[in-house]
Every structure is written in structure tokens, then in C-alpha cells.
Amino acid sequence: MDEARREGLAIAGSTLAVPGLVDGGLVHTAPNLGWHHVRVSDLLDLPVEVDNEANLAALGELWFGSAPGDFLHVSGEIGIGAGLVVGGTLFRGARGLAGELGHVVVHPDGPACRCGGRGCLERYAGQEALLGACGLTGVPELLESLRAGEPGALEACERAGSALGIALTSAIHLMDPGTIVLGGVFAPLFPWIRDPVRQAMAARLTGMRHTVPDLTVSRLGSDAAPLGAAGQIIHRVLANPIATLTRRGENA
């Protein structure tokens, strides 16, 4: 911020993407951070807006990606979130809390999850679960093992893809997206999880739908959420630049 001001640039806005349930600047819960009822503006000495990381990633895909029409963007990291875009608009739900795909139950008797439930998708397809299943410490190492055809890495991705496909089946029944876009850590892993995801969806959907939604990979990867955050501010500035600068206390 100081550097921007030294360059004579007005700061139009700042946004923090959080992997948790956010409503009106309050983080109700972010299980993977251990946060509960945290108002982020009280922690930072600067004006900042707060939004859900998966929602921002879906907006990034909408404005800067290549997903057509209505789509569901799945953002995979330690946790797994989703953002649904309908008619060019992000669907947030009644309180802005929609999209917690990572806590859809795929195995009711599965391992305990940080959210308090059991058998959640994150316990099978989250980054932590994937690395733990094959005894690796980082995504670059996992990718190297996959390219080398290591059986443990391949099996871990197959199990994760199958679990993701099961969870997406529930999402498809509820929301009927035209396209599913896999982003975040799922983007570099796409060549190895694509088929298990498709097979799991096809086994559960074709009896009713005949076909499954298109499954694609985000070309934005981990940049989707920052781009979505920036895009929100850009749209606001374009809609009313004077009001934006006035709110920030800058000279037009």
C-alpha cells in the first residue's frame, strides 16, 4: 500500500480470500485454520473485505477464465470449496454460505473431519489427504511421482478422483451445472484424476441424465481467487469510480 501511494496510485480496495464460511466480513468458521467467529478487520490494521476463497475463484473463472455458461468451479487445496455461477452471477445462498463441497459426506462411517462430521470429501480428496495417502510432503513431489508412474501416487489420485466424483454427483443432482471446472490443486492433477471423476459420476448419473456435465480444468489454477477478488473491485470502480475513491479517502 505504501509503495502504491509513493507511485501516486489510488488504492481502490483490498480483499482477503478465506477458506471458510464468510458472512458480512465475519468468518463463521474456517476448520482448516482453526477459526471460529473471527472478524478479520479486527486483526489487520487496514480496511479489507473478506470473502470465501472458492467463491472468489469462481468469479475469477467467470471473468478471466474460459468456462462457458452456467458452471460449478471446484477449488481444491487443503480444503475443497465450490462456487456456482448461474446466468453470469455467483450463487451465494441465503447467507452467502453456499458451496462447501469439501464437507459433503462420501462415506458416512469414514474418518473424523475438522468440521465435526465424518467421511467428508476433504478427508479423501483434499491436498493433505492426497499427500498423506502416498507418503509425500508436497504437490511438486506428487506430480513428479505421477509422471514417473509411481503406483502409490497413481492409486492415491484414483481414490481421490473417485471420492470427488461421488460428491459431485450430489451437487449435480441439486444444481444441474452445465460444466464442472476443476481448479486449485486439481488443475495440475487433472490428467490423473479426470477419468476417476468421470467414471464415478457416470456410474451414478447416466440412469437419469444419459450424459454427465462437461468436466474441464481451469487454466487459472491458483490465480483464480486473486483474480476474482481483483475483478470485484474492478467492476465496482467501473460502475462508480468517484464513489470508490471517495470511500477510500483518495483524491480523484
The backbone torsions φ and ψ at residue 49, rounded to the nearest 5 degrees and listed phi first, read -90, 155
pTM given for the model: 0.86
Total Cβ atoms within 10 A of residue 4: 11
For residue 155, the Cα-to-chain-centroid distance in whole angstroms is 24
Task: Compute the average pLDDT of residues 14-27.
Answer: 84
Give the model confidence (pLDDT) of 170-204 as tens digits: 999 888 888 999 998 999 999 999 999 999 999 99
Query: What per-residue confidence (pLDDT) applies to 143?
Result: 95
Q: Alpha carbon of 243 to those of 179, 227, 246: distances in Å?
A: 36, 22, 5
pLDDT tens digits, 97-144:
678 898 899 999 999 988 888 999 999 999 999 999 988 989 999 999
Average pLDDT over residues 18-32: 82
